[in-house]
Amino acid sequence: MDKHELRVMALTGGLLSIFLFAIIYNAFSRKIDVPTCVPYTGVFKKPHIKKVDDLNYEVYAVAHMWSYDPDEITIPSGSTIDLYLTSLDVVHGFNIVLKGVNLMAVPGGVSKTTITFNDPGIYRIVCHEYCGAGHQYMMGKIIVTDKR
Ligand code: CUA
């Protein structure tokens, strides 16, 4: 190994150390964290299902790593849900399998849709936007009962 090679290696090592130090220093000194932000805090502070009348519901749902809140919604068949959805951290998906409902839960924003469930059954909700290590476990369900 000649001395040019050694010099290049030393320079590379030195630069790498500086970059690593800068990244670690910034991560700790600025307390970098995933932002948490819920718009319209009044309704989303506590995610909930609001019964408007026997066949109309409003759902205020919050997605976060790696679940939905609420993660289970039970309604009688024939019901209509006004769904308001936001995210606490990163972009998540909200796909109601068999219903063709395909929403994004975006931090700082609210997605809204209206869905009617005429057939009783269990409708699975899956996150279809990659959101980190627990993405594949992120799911919920809507249980549509046949009693009215
Ligand atoms: Cu949430 Cu993928």
Pick the atom of ligand 1 nearest to 66's CA: 1
- Which residue carries 């319209």 as its tokens? 40
- The verdict on pTM exceeding 0.85 is no
Judgement on whether residues 18 and 54 belong to the same structural domain of the protein: no
Judgement on whether residues 140 and 83 belong to the same structural domain of the protein: yes
Compute, in degrees rounded to 10, the torsion defined by CA atoms 21, 22, 26, 28: 0
Domain CATH code at residue 113? 2.60.40.420
Give the residue numbers spanning the domain of 24: 1-32
Judgement on whether residues 16 and 68 belong to the same structural domain of the protein: no
Judgement on whether residues 86 and 72 belong to the same structural domain of the protein: yes
Pick the atom of ligand 1 nearest to 138's CA: 1
Judgement on whether residues 43 and 28 belong to the same structural domain of the protein: no
Q: For the chain, what is the domain count? A: 2
Q: Are 95 and 101 in contact (CB under 8 A)?
A: yes
Give the separation between CA 8 and CA 137, rounded to whole angstroms.
46
DSSP code for 136: G
At residue 44, the pLDDT reads: 80
27-83 pLDDT, tens digit per residue, is: 777 665 544 555 666 778 888 899 999 999 999 999 999 999 999 999 999 999 999
SS3 content of the chain, % helix, strand, coil (to 5): 25, 45, 35
Judgement on whether residues 42 and 73 belong to the same structural domain of the protein: yes
Q: Residue with the nearest Cα to atom 1 of ligand 1?
A: 92
